[in-house]
Structure 1
Amino acid sequence: MQNLAGILTETAARFPERTALKLDDTVVSYAALDAMSAKVAGLLAARGVVPGERVGLMMPNIPQMAFVYYGVLRYGAVVVPMNPLLKAREVAYHLQDSGARLVFAWEGVAGEVSAGAEEADGGVEVVPVDSSSFMGLLAGADSRPDLAEVDGEDIAVILYTSGTTGRPKGAALTHRNLRSNAIVSRSLLDTRETDVIFGGLPFFHVFGQTAALNSALLAGASISLLPRFDAGKALEIIERDGVTIFEGVPTMYVGMLRHPAVKDTKLSSLRGAITGGSAMPLEVLHEFEDVFGIQLLEGYGLSETSPIVSFNLPGEGRRAGSIGKAVDGMEVRMLDPDGADVPVGEIGELSVRGEGVMKGYWRNDDATAAAIPDGWFRTGDLARFDEEDNIYIVDRKKDMILRGGYNVYPREVEEVLYEHPAVSEVAVIGVPDPLHGEEIVAVVGLREEAVPADDAARETLIADIARFAKDRLAAYKYPRRIELTDALPKGPTGKILKREIKVSAPPRPLLDETPTA
């Protein structure tokens, strides 16, 4: 069975009464999820959608999200998931670029979606998804329970990347891409039908789709949904629903560790936790394991790879700072700018080939050729192998700072700053500098108990953090400027968005130093 929606129909046949989705008091069985997705397929047929056409989907992690996701797939159309935080102009771009036929829009974003749908060329039909009338709409739709026949290489989902450079590009992921990666995810975590998965990773993002939604349905497990991440609510869900596997990004773990309720939350149901999306600071990883009493496993992936490329395996010796080894079905190389392998231990661009790698960028042959020039997808991440094929991310290729002729990798500086007792979160960026080309700035979010009471205390703390870094890093690496902030900008999964960080003035030396290196 090639259609990705087959993971739902197969499991619903095995465990019809088992809980598939739970949102507080709302419980959806596998049989009900299967039936609702068949109704969505019938609704698409009634609205004149043709298999292969694109269908937008803009809603948070609510049961209706899964109804529509699998309904579009089983009908043979293509899912275009969108972040509910997008504004009308961004919505219009996603709909127009994908050529979406219609869009399902959660009631909380109806205004932005309607405006964006009107702005798109030719207009796009909007199907509102609210708390009452949408279920009535499905009740009146014909059921189309059959799975559309598709080839494994047919596109299932178009995921728009974050647009770090230029406008977002649509990563075209096939039914085979997503199914194979869901199988890998299930195997890595040994997900079982008795598991309860934390469903706080957004399903409009590939990490949540694969590691939570698709993986859980393959196993027949339950997912406890959280539409918008809140650390206190996440802790409540763990205890209330007996969550066994927690999946999140580093900022989620930081949020729970800093929440006062963590001391009183019963965490004994947890047997596993994974992180990805951005680098997990070692200090946070060790703190989580001490407090939660379970191992936290870090993996690596991208939207273009469905997403899992590498993973630290449970029960195996973990190398500090490593994102593990390439998973089954994926190959990894470290390449120099000419496409040649670099020696073990040296830094190259992490490049990937395998079952999870996208078909290409939607309607963008030039971008596809640049990203996959020779069958190997260039990730834009700088990394190295050790002698046992463990992978270590050094930094984003585009994030690397060139200061006075020296390469500075922000992640290395961030790891040091996370060790400071006042630091809750941090991003290190480069800013133009007339002397050194680029200068290093650290933008720091503080732990609640460390927030200074006045300007004098603030300056003292800044100097202390700067000195802490200077004592632990080479002269060309430590940040010459520390900026304190209430919160760093984050994307839909909680990943820190460095491109949105603004610093107000040229950096100045914080400590006595010579003006060279």
Structure 2
Amino acid sequence: MSDALQFRPAHPNPNAPHLAHWPARLPLSITVPEATLWHNLEVSAARYPDKVAYLFMGQAITYGELKRRAEALAGWLQHEAGVRPGDRVLLYTQNCPQYVIGYHAILRAQAVVVPVNPMNKAEEFKHYITDAQARVAVCTADLAGIVHEANQGVPANERLRHVVVSRYADQMPPEGQDDASLNAPAPLMQWLRAEHPLPEGFTRWTDALALNHAPAPYLGHPDDLALLPYTSGTTGLPKGCMHTHRSLMHNAIGGGLWGQSTADSVVLGVVPLFHITGMLYGVLGPIYNGATVALMPRWDRELAGSLISRMKVTHWTCIPTMIMDLFNSPNYKHFDLSSLFYLSGGGAAMPEAVAQRLKDEFGLTFCEGYGLTETAAPTHANPPEGAKLQCLGMPMFGTDSRIIDPTTLQELPAGQVGEIVSHGPMVFQGYWRHPEATAAAFIEIDGKRFFRTGDLGRVDDEGYFFITDRLKRMINASGFKVWPSEVEMLLYKHPAVQEACVISARDDYRGETVKAVVVLRPEARGKVNEQEIIDWARDQMAAYKYPRIVQFSENLPKSGAGKVLWRVLQEQEQASQAPA
């Protein structure tokens, strides 16, 4: 047989130690089809037209209907909003079927999905309009006012031209026919059913779909830009990560294969869909496999327990705090969790006691994983048959990961702490309109392009990776990444703030929380208190991001060049929290 003939891709690092512990059920690498993400929905709709794709608050939508609505919205985007191939379209909703429809409608229009965190406020939202150079947005009614306010706050020539607005109730049972056995709390139902004024010039979702415009012929390619999720760094505003259909397709397939997901799987979709992890395990992977997703608009432990029990959920990707909260429910003994087959997550370490409780009570192994927005979620994962606790896992299909000295860039041996770098088909193409940041994010090793994660870690003798620290300034609050520089920039908008430095503080529930050390302007001293700064920040920033603690200081420690020494403040905070 010719050497040119290969049935599957070769592993990029055949000498990697973790391959000796690789699950026998899995191939080392996977062959990704020459197809787009839109094609995945077409295939599943053809295979399972009447199968439930998503269940949302008691209302089901089938794969056939999901495809039809996505096509109708794609037609509206093209015919009414003038969306052209490559245009960026903002997608700004909480978890709901409209997010999935909107996502695939944008792809069907051969445009680029720009997911925006629904916790973001108007000041934050402006950046997504201007930086992504977006002219169209898809949002829900509860967020339409924020879109309007943000849009009015940017230069006229950079504003959105079209916004289509859905109510959550558009994909729920008719009013008065809610399923009481779901155990959905009354405030949640009131929020979902609430009426909100439609800003002038915005288009109702139902009106857009009713036009039933047929989209233009689809000419998408696997290497087209498909997704532009934003992530922050140590400096500046959030940057868009450029992902093609191909880089996303790899993890959409690999993630399901790793967790043994099939068309008969039932997924609990509760991790926010705007987040790369929620997107992969709640949208892309299930649609590729033809699975069913029980979709939650936001976390609620009683609703989660009810859905797992009634829907016989088999797969749940989450953050550890959700499991801890579920265990704290007074009703958890009445939940039937016996259908759960694969439990995975990341964002924060799973406490040993909780992991043991899962094992003892339910026979479940929590499989921690690791990935970033830049890597379309996982580059590493723990296999259920060989999981290690508080461990990132082993590099996944076709991934080559190393530990390097962050200064000399030389590879380090097992056991030594250095920066985690990864090479693989899921790695992004670069930062949108930031060539310098893109160049700084990559390094070449053995002729291959490795992404510098900015995370410090080590690898053990068996090839499992562990995280130890972060090179980048990042706070991990219940799995949500908070970038101090972004919070600082917003704090500087407060008229009383002269200087601000944001650090992490220990939090028993969130793991870490946000603390701001603030120097007040002279005229504000004695007139503004800490709580006023916190209250102002709450109105300006996403809920997970605003400082929960504010400490006033006469000055901030600085280097000879005048740079704020945030590490000094961080070390002081850690010392103050250390046990006596």
TM-score band by shorter chain is 0.7 to 0.9
1:91 matched residue in structure 2: 125
Describe the SS at the equivalent of 1:99.
Answer: coil
Aligned to 2:566: none
Counterpart amino acid of 2:215? Answer: R
1:44 aligns with 2:113: no
The CA deviation string for residues 270-298 of structure 1, in whole angstroms up to 9 with x for no partner, is: 11111112332333322333344311111
Q: 2:323 maps to which residue? A: 253
Aligned partners of 2:230 and 2:392: how far apart in 1? 24
| CA–CA separation in structure 2 for the residues paired with 1:357 and 1:88 | 31
Return the offset for 1:39: 0.8
Change over 3 Å in CA distance of 1:155–1:504 after alignment to 2: same
For the Cα contact (< 8 Å) 2:90–2:136, is it kept in 1? yes
CA distance in 1, matches of 2:56, 2:292: 11
Asked if 1:229 is matched to 2:299, the reply is: yes
**Are residue 318 (structure 1) and residue 387 (structure 2) matched?**
yes
Residue in 1 that maps onto 2:21: none
Give the corresponding residue for 1:149.
Answer: 220
The answer to whether the 8 Å contact 2:401/2:420 transfers is yes
Deviation at 1:361, TM superposition (A): 0.5
**How many angstroms apart in 2 are the aligned matches of 1:354 and 1:376?**
8
Task: Give the Cα–Cα distance (whole angstroms) in 2 for the partners of residues 284 and 60 of structure 1.
Answer: 28
Give the distance between the partners of 2:282 and 2:352, measured in 1 at CA: 24
Shift of 1:66: 0.7
Gaps spanning 5+ residues in structure 2: where? 1-33, 171-203, 485-502, 512-537, 553-571
User: What amino acid is aligned across from residue 69 of structure 2 in structure 1?
Assistant: M
Question: How far is the alpha carbon of 1:512 from its aligned partner?
Answer: 10
CA distance in 2, matches of 1:18, 1:382: 44
Matched, 1:273 2:307: no
Q: Are positions 1:25 and 2:96 aligned together?
A: no
Identify the residue that residue 463 of structure 2 maps to in structure 1: 389
> Could you tell me which of 356, 374, 379 is aligned with 2:426?
356
Q: Any conservation in 2 of the 1:205–1:493 contact (CA below 8 Å)?
A: no
Deviation of the 1:146 alpha carbon: 4.5
TM-score after normalising by structure 1: 0.78
- The alpha-carbon deviation at position 440 of structure 1 amounts to 10
Look up the match of 1:119: 153
How far the C-alpha of 1:500 sits from its partner, in A, is 4.1
The answer to whether 1:34 aligns with 2:67 is yes
8 Å contact from structure 2 (residues 119, 542) kept in 1 = no
Q: What amino acid is aligned across from residue 98 of structure 2 in structure 1? A: Q
CA, structure 1 residues 196+56, in 2 after alignment: closer, same or farther (shift >3 Å)? same
Asked whether the 8 Å contact 2:269–2:281 carries over to 1, the reply is: no
- Is 2:234–2:473's contact at 8 Å kept on the other side of the alignment? no
The one-letter code of the counterpart of 1:89 is E
- Select which of 365, 368, 380 maps to 2:454: 380
Q: In the alignment, does 2:254 pair up with 1:184? A: yes
In structure 2, the residue matched to 1:14 is 47
Contact 1:23 1:224 in 2 (8 A): yes
Q: Which amino acid aligns with 2:278?
A: G
Listed one character per residue, the Cα deviations across residues 406-454 of structure 1 (whole Å, up to 9, x for unaligned) are xxxx99xx9xxxxxxxxx99x9xx9xxxxxxxx996433499xxxxxxx
Equivalenced residue count is 437
Distance between the aligned counterparts of 2:368 and 2:212, measured in 1? Answer: 43
Q: Contact 2:320 / 2:349 at 8 angstroms: preserved in 1?
A: yes
Q: Does 1:103 align with 2:128?
A: no
Deviation at 1:85, TM superposition (A): 1.4
Give the deviation of 1:314 after TM superposition.
2.2
What is the aligned-residue identity percentage?
Answer: 33
Return the letter of the residue paired with 2:428: M
**3-state SS, counterpart of residue 72 of structure 1:** helix
Query: What is aligned with 1:419?
Result: none
Aligned partner of 1:462 in structure 2 is none
- The one of 162, 166, 179 aligned to 2:236: 166
In structure 2, give the amino acid aligned to 1:236.
Answer: S
In structure 2, what is the Cα distance between the partners aligned to 1:223 and 1:243? 9
**Residue in structure 2 matched with residue 443 of structure 1 by the alignment:** 507
C-alpha deviation, 1:371, in angstroms: 1.0
Q: How far off its partner does 1:250 sit?
A: 1.8
Q: CA deviation at 1:28?
A: 0.4
Q: CA-to-partner distance for each residue in 1:121-153, whole Å, 9 max, x for gaps? A: 321022112245423420213122853322x22
Matching residue of 1:466: none
Query: Is this contact kept in 2: 1:38–1:145, CA < 8 A?
Result: no
Task: For residue 304 of structure 1, give the secondary structure of its aligned residue in structure 2.
Answer: helix
SS of match in other structure, 1:100: coil
Aligned runs of 1:467-506 on 2, under 5 Å?
Answer: 500=547, 502=549, 504=551
Partners in 2 of 1:303 and 1:235 — Cα distance? 29
| 1:332 has 2:406 as partner | no
Which position in structure 1 is the counterpart of 2:435?
A: 365
Cα distance change, pair 208–442 in 1 and its aligned pair in 2 (3 A): closer
Look up the SS of the partner of 1:260 in the other structure.
Answer: coil
Separation of aligned partners in 1, 2:578 and 2:153: 52
Which one scores higher on RCO, CA 8 angstroms, separation ≥ 6?
2
Taking the aligned partners of 1:119 and 1:313, their CA distance within structure 2 comes to 48
Counterpart in 1 of 2:100?
66
- In 2, distance between residues paired with 1:237 and 1:509? 43
Aligned-pair Cα RMSD in Å = 3.1
Q: Distance in 1 between matches of 2:510 and 2:403?
A: 36
1:314 and 1:364, CA in 2 relative to 1: closer, same or farther beyond 3 A? Answer: same
Distance (Å, rounded) in 2 between the aligned partners of 1:289 and 1:259: 18
CA distance in 2 between counterparts of 1:145 and 1:107 reads 28
Secondary structure of residue in 2 paired with 1:110:
helix
Q: Could you tell me which amino acid in structure 2 is paired with residue 392 of structure 1?
A: F
Aligned to 2:564: none
Alpha carbons of structure 1 residues 254 and 149: separation in structure 2 relative to 1, 3 Å: same
Matched, 1:80 2:80: no
Show CA shifts across 1:182-204 (max 9, x none): 11101001101111100101111
Q: What CA distance in whole angstroms lies between the structure 2 residues aligned with 1:391 and 1:366?
A: 29
Letter of the 1:187 counterpart: L
- 2:364 is equivalent to residue 286 of structure 1: no
- Paired amino acid for 1:54: R
Mapping of residues 302-313 of structure 1, within 5 Å: 302-313=372-383
Match of 2:533 in 1: none
| Segment drifting more, 328-337 vs 50-59 | 328-337
In structure 2, C-alpha distance between the alignment counterparts of 1:382 and 1:62, rounded to whole Å: 36
Equivalent residue, structure 2, for 1:297: 367
Provide closer, same or farther for how the CA distance between residues 167 and 284 of structure 1 changes in structure 2, counting only shifts above 3 A. farther
Q: Cα distance, 1:161 vs. partner?
A: 1.0
| Structure 2 letter corresponding to 1:280 | M
SS of equivalent to 2:228: strand
**2:308 and 2:337 in contact (8 A); partners too:** yes
Structure-1 residue corresponding to 2:487 = none
Residue 57 of structure 1 contacts residue 105 of structure 1 at CA under 8 Å; is this kept in 2? Answer: yes
